[in-house]
Amino acid sequence: MSIELVCPAGGLPALKAAVDNGANCVYAGFKDDTNARNFSGLNFDDASLREGIRYAHSHGAKVLIALNTYPQTENWQRWTAAVDKAADFGVDAIILADIGLMDYAQRAQPNLRLHLSVQGSATSYEAINFYRERFNIQRAVLPRVLSLAQVEQVVKNTPVEIEVFGFGGLCVMVEGRCALSAYATGTSPNCNGACSPGKAVRWEQTPQGMETRLAGILIDRFADGERAGYPTLCKGRFEVDDATYYAIEEPTSLNTLELLPQLMDIGIRAIKIEGRQRSPAYVAQVTKVWREAIDLCQKDAARFAPKAAWMAELNKVSEGQSHTLGAYNRPWK
Amino acid sequence: MKISLGPNLFYWPKQTTLDFYAAVAQMPVDIVYLGETVCSRRHELRAEDWLDVARQLADAGKEVVLASQALIESESDLKALRRLVDNGEFRVEANEMGAVRLLAEKKLPWVAGMSLNVFNGHTLNLLAQMGATRWVMPPEASRETLAGILADKPAALETEVFAYGRLPLAWSARCFTARRFNLQKDTCEFKCIDFPDGMLLKTREHQDFLVINGIQTMSAKTYNLLREMPQAAGVEVLRLSPQAQGMAEVVAAARRALAGASTDLAGDYCNGFWHGQPGLELVETAS
């Protein structure tokens, strides 16, 4: 069974880069808080979406629209209008997290294919089958918390296609279950579609070193010569019981390239590349490597091994310049 | 307005837990949520022990609800969940959609827990149609969001708000307590038991920020809506979250607040979420 490569598109140039380099699907969002990458300068207006869909479809690729934040009663119509717009534009599927919105989509756009977003926090086949039975979800994106054996157990017990993250930034928390940014900055991934937002960030050179703050809270401090990373809240150094360290998560990124034969073997239907906030060059580079890897692996899984050149290319664009197998393999378990 | 005691989010020795609930039986709370919702490795009380506690509290006149685990990872997690759903005596609080599926399938009444992400009335109505008889607002929601949700709430559905305690903010597959001790999660030595209110996480300038509680991350400040709750339209249950010390005082303060008296308790408090602000803010309100 073939496995789809699902690549991020923060804008039209990234979408074209993904398609040109062999993505089977690109995922994108509208220019507002209806999606979980609600960053300024990112996402699609009507004209760019129309052109993006035309471009993707003419090259045999699909376009998925993420509407994966949680609408509130007072802005409900904006989310339902986004569902209708996605359908009118002829996208291939929408990616949802809120069951109210799934219910709406199912009734208003019965021909529109629905995917369960990672923001839905569904980690078991019981949960995924719930979404299937109630809302006819065709595919589910798993949160980045399960081991490979646990992923396999999910696949075996649901008819829903399973998509997993293969590469990119790593949320250490269960997606859809993290209010850390809302607590510190008031910007909620669940409701506003952003985490540790740029407007709350301050970089400050001090006698102690470069300090990064989020809403005034010291997230990290870097010595001269240390590479100062973006102050994503969970990736800072903190003090716990008199030790100062990356108390929650080290700033690394996920790379599961070496697990590709196993992912295909257990029946994963799609690999997702994270990074709608990243550049078209990142998208082109990562898509190219993963396309080549998937094609090779589909030809001869038994003899598949990641090429050193691929890993070097991917490490170049990794956050923190290093990578991890994440939860799939649990060195920390 | 009723007062509930949420599930204990921390890990205490068995005898400490039994003593705590023996005391709770004498406290003026109406509803008690029981069970381990955070980590499947915490085993001081087994399923049967929890049922014993549940029966004792029911005999003392409390409404008892058994809370399900919020993050389901393994087949044994699912087995425990099925056992909970099939307990045959007590209502269950569903903390993820797998539990909702099982409870709805059996046509049982259940409580929609605060990790189900209910942010609009459409979602709440769907859960009510599936058998939810009460729902707990996600702590990050504001009073405006609540008002919007309640505008088209089914009449029979009760609304509960997390009103006192350290806020559960995030869940992970990783254990941050084990990480602090350079231990693997599977051989964690159950370090959580040494920290009855979690481990304080401070910034590098020594500011209290978060609390590590195994795979859960919490607020360092205590969320306190005791002043706000008596005036909160549509809220029918006020939830207090268990803490190792001073629970009876918190319950008494909540009772006083509901009676319109002063709620003064000493502590490092926040209430921002309720007021539409960052959660750690403390918005001054008239008492």
The residue among B86, B97, B191 with the most chain A CBs within 10 A of its CB, best to mutate, is: B97
Specify the DSSP element, H or E, that contains B208. Answer: strand B208-213
Contact B101 A98 (CB under 8 A): no
Best CA proximity match to A263, nearest among A145, A140, A157, A155: A155
The residue among A118, A177, A187, A246 with the most chain B CBs within 10 A of its CB, best to mutate, is: A177
Specify the DSSP element, H or E, that contains A297. Answer: helix A280-299
Per-residue pLDDT of chain B (287 residues; tens, 9 = 90+): 999 999 999 999 999 999 999 999 999 999 999 999 999 999 999 999 999 999 999 999 999 999 999 999 999 999 999 999 999 999 999 999 999 999 999 999 999 999 999 999 999 999 999 999 999 999 999 999 999 999 988 888 999 999 999 999 999 989 999 999 999 998 999 999 999 999 999 999 999 999 999 999 999 999 999 999 988 999 999 999 999 999 999 999 999 999 998 877 888 999 999 999 999 999 987 65
Q: How, if at all, do strands A253-255 and A323-324 pair? A: parallel
pLDDT-based confidence at residue A333 (cuts at 50, 70, 90): very low
**pLDDT tens-place string over residues B207-256:** 999 999 999 999 999 999 999 998 899 999 999 999 999 999 999 999 99
| Chain B, nearest residue to A219 by Cα | B203
Mean pLDDT across A22-51 = 94
Query: How many contacts, defined by CB atoms under 8 Å, are there between A and B?
Result: 211
Specify the DSSP element, H or E, that contains B166. Answer: strand B158-172
Best CA proximity match to A260, nearest among A307, A314, A301, A318: A301
Q: Which residues contact A279 (CB under 8 A, 6 or more apart)?
A: A14
| CA B150 centroid distance within chain | 21
Taking the C-alpha atoms of residue A288 and residue A19, their distance in angstroms, rounded to an integer, is 10
What is the domain partition of chain A in residue ranges? 4-170+252-328, 181-245
Residue type, A292: E
Q: How, if at all, do strands A93-96 and A114-116 pair? A: parallel
With tokens 């052109």, the residue in question is A51
**pLDDT tens-place string over residues B63-74:** 999 999 999 999
Give the number of other CB atoms < 10 A from CB of residue A146.
23
* Fold exhibited by the domain A4-170+252-328: TIM Barrel (3.20.20)
What structural domains and CATH numbers belong to chain B?
Answer: 2-166+223-275 (3.20.20.110)
Q: B33 with B7: CB under 8 angstroms?
A: yes
Taking the C-alpha atoms of residue B101 and residue A190, their distance in angstroms, rounded to an integer, is 22
Taking the Cβ of residue A241 and every Cβ of chain B, the question of whether any pair is shorter than 8 Å is answered with yes
